[in-house]
């Protein structure tokens, strides 16, 4: 390959040649290289490559082209294939900051796995909310003829859709827009909250506190509604003093520890694992032990935290991997008959050691 590359220093390849200057990296072989070696035109090579039977190319010419292809190790070109079909094997993934948000990287993972299995490759752009990058990214996706676009955010909330995505095959992941008719793949917050409360209720707890987030979001309203449903299903009257708001961080959990202690709750649903982690610390400083003195349930099942707390945290998983995978499914084959354009992904219970049974 090197020899042929060196004999072909075309101007268009200056850029490539520069990177490969140390001799280790061979230049990509082009159709033109094959055509020159075979002594035919580029279109002839192209016709032979694409096996157009009706092109009536002499068998000898075909053999010459095929020999040149083998000699030069020319590879079938996905870009050329995409050009011919006018579509591509790309799916664009536009994110605000999920690549930088630890647990939500699983959205990328799920999308990439599923796309790969379907023969597609993800083009990922992380905009950090910068509208300029967003516009450029969308233009790039169009230029690469992506098959569809996943637009994803790191936490579940409403978005304003960029204008240029409106006419595309766009699926929203972990976000939604009530003004658009686009499919949204989102966590089932209601049943997630219900599951968290049930994990405590099923162990005999009747006084169950609920630490909600201060951030307005479907997680805030949906999980609270699910908690209320779970209480109602057990015939337990709601006690407003058991519902408190906190910042969704370790600091938030620590800040409400005293309120939780004073409430007489025997169990508490935390908005997320980080809140549970802060609550653990502040309770321990007060000599209150989990789960013997109080039971705790988290939310998220955040890697490197939930399974490794003392005691390991029982929690409800945010299904990030599944959000990404289902997003790709929706791009490739849009589901029909959806309520409110939503594909709801279940948030499953993860049982560990932070819940004790009450008699």
Q: Map the footprint of a second copy across residues 262-291, applying CB under 8 A.
A: 274, 277-278, 281-282, 284-285
- The radius of gyration of the chain's CA atoms, rounded to the nearest angstrom, is 28
Interface residues for a second copy in 186-245 (CB under 8 A)?
A: none
Task: Give CA–CA dist 280/308, Å, rounded.
Answer: 12
Unique residue bearing structure tokens 């909250």: 193
Among residues 52, 67, 70, 308, the one that binds a second copy under rule CB under 8 A: 308
Task: Give CA–CA dist 250/277, Å, rounded.
Answer: 6
The separation between CA 339 and the C-alpha centre of its own chain, rounded to angstroms, equals 22
Counting every residue written for the chain, the total comes to: 359
Among residues 164, 225, 334, 348, the one that binds a second copy under rule CB under 8 A: 334
Interface residues for a second copy in 102-121 (CB under 8 A)?
A: 102-103, 105-106, 108-109, 112-113, 116, 121
Task: Give CA–CA dist 299/217, Å, rounded.
Answer: 15
Least separation, in Å, of the C-beta of 206 and a second copy? 30
Q: Buried b / exposed e across 110-145, counting CB within 10 Å, b at 16+?
A: bbbebbeeeebebbbbbbeeeeeebeebbeebeeee
Least separation, in Å, of the C-beta of 108 and a second copy? 5
Least separation, in Å, of the C-beta of 155 and a second copy? 13
Q: Which region among 27-35, 53-61, 206-214, 263-271 touches a second copy (by CB under 8 A)?
A: 27-35
Q: Which region among 53-61, 64-72, 77-85, 201-209 touches a second copy (by CB under 8 A)?
A: 77-85
The three-class DSSP label of residue 293 is coil
**Which lies closer to a second copy via its Cβ, residue 28 or residue 207?**
28
Least separation, in Å, of the C-beta of 116 and a second copy? 7
CB 121 within 8 A of CB 90: yes
Count of residues that interact with a second copy, criterion CB under 8 A: 85
162 binds a second copy, rule: CB under 8 A = no
25 binds a second copy, rule: CB under 8 A = yes
Among residues 7, 63, 78, 204, the one that binds a second copy under rule CB under 8 A: 78
Least separation, in Å, of the C-beta of 57 and a second copy? 17
**Which lies closer to a second copy via its Cβ, residue 201 or residue 301?**
301
Q: Buried b / exposed e across 29-49, counting CB within 10 Å, b at 16+?
A: bbbebbbbbbebeeebbbbbb
153 binds a second copy, rule: CB under 8 A = no
Least separation, in Å, of the C-beta of 180 and a second copy? 10
Cβ atoms within 10 Å, residue 333: 9
**Which lies closer to a second copy via its Cβ, residue 48 or residue 282?**
282
234: left (phi over 0), alpha (psi -120 to 50) or beta: alpha
């Amino acid at each position: 390959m090197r020899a042929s590359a060196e004999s072909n220093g075309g101007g268009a390849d200056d850029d490539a040649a520069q990177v490969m200057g140390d001799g280790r990296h061979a230049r990509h072989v082009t159709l033109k290289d094959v055509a020159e070696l075979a002594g035919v035109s580029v279109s002839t090579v192209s016709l032979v490559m694409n096996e157009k039977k009706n092109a009536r190319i002499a068998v000898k010419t075909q053999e010459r082209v095929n020999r040149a292809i083998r000699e030069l190790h020319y590879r079938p070109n996905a870009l050329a294939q995409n050009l011919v079909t006018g579509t591509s094997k790309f799916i664009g993934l536009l994110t605000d900051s999920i690549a930088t948000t630890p647990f939500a990287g699983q959205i990328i993972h799920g999308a990439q796995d599923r796309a790969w299995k379907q023969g597609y490759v993800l083009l990922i752009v992380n905009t950090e909310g910068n509208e300029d990058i967003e516009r450029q990214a969308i233009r790039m996706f169009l230029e690469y003829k992506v098959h569809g676009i996943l637009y994803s955010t790191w936490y579940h909330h409403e978005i304003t859709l960029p204008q240029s995505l409106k006419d595309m095959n766009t699926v929203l992941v972990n976000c939604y827009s009530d003004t658009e008719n686009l499919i949204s793949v989102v966590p089932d917050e209601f049943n997630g909250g219900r599951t968290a409360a049930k994990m405590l209720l099923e162990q005999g707890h009747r006084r169950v506190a609920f630490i909600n987030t201060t951030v307005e979001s479907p997680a805030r309203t949906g999980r609270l509604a699910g908690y209320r449903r779970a209480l109602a299903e057990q015939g337990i009257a709601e006690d407003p003093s058991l519902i408190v708001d906190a910042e969704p961080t370790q600091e938030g959990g620590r800040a409400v520890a005293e309120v939780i202690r004073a409430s007489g709750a025997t169990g508490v649903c935390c908005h997320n694992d980080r809140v549970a982690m802060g609550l653990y610390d502040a309770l321990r400083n007060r000599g209150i032990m989990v789960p013997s003195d109080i039971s705790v349930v988290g939310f998220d099942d955040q890697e490197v935290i939930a399974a490794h707390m003392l005691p390991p945290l029982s929690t409800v998983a945010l299904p990030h991997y599944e959000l990404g995978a289902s997003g790709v499914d929706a791009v490739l084959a849009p589901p029909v008959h959806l309520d409110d354009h939503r594909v709801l992904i279940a948030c499953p219970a993860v049982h560990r050691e932070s819940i004790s049974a009450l008699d």
